[in-house]
Amino acid sequence: MSHAFYVTASYVAAFAVTFGLVLWVWLDHRGRHRELQRLEAAGIRRRSARSEDAR
């Protein structure tokens, strides 16, 4: 195998792992944000959020 193969494989692997990590952080945020919105829409809110509304 040529040196180009090892260099390319290294950068592809580094990109794939990094991209996977970024994707996981983004999807995790989207999921948690939606879940929080669903709970708040159902009337389940934090005490601090309720007191902010009352002010």
Partner 1 sequence: MSEPSLAIRKFSDLANPTRFLALVSTVWPWLAGLTLCLFAIGLYLSFTGLGDYQQGETVRIMYVHVPAAWLSMMCYTVMALSALGTLVWRHPLADVSAKAAAPIGACFTLVALITGSLWGKPMWGTWWVWDARLTSVFVLFLMYLGLIALNRAMDDPTRAAKVSAVLILVGFVNIPIIKFSVEWWNTLHQPASVIRMDGPTIDPAFLWPLLVMAIAFTMLFFTLHILAMRNEILRRRIAVLRRHAARSAGDAA
**Binds partner 1 by CB under 8 A, chosen from 45, 51, 54, 55:** 45
Q: C-alpha angle with apex 22: 17 to 23, nearest 5 degrees?
A: 95
- CB 12 → partner 1: shortest distance, Å? 10
In the complex, minimum distance from the CB of residue 29 to partner 1, in angstroms, rounded to a whole number: 5
How many amino acids of this chain bind partner 1 (CB under 8 A)?
29
> Is 22 among the residues that bind partner 1 (CB under 8 A)?
yes
Helix (H) or strand (E) holding 24: helix 3-41
Q: Rounded to the nearest 5°, which phi and psi values hold at 35? A: -65, -45
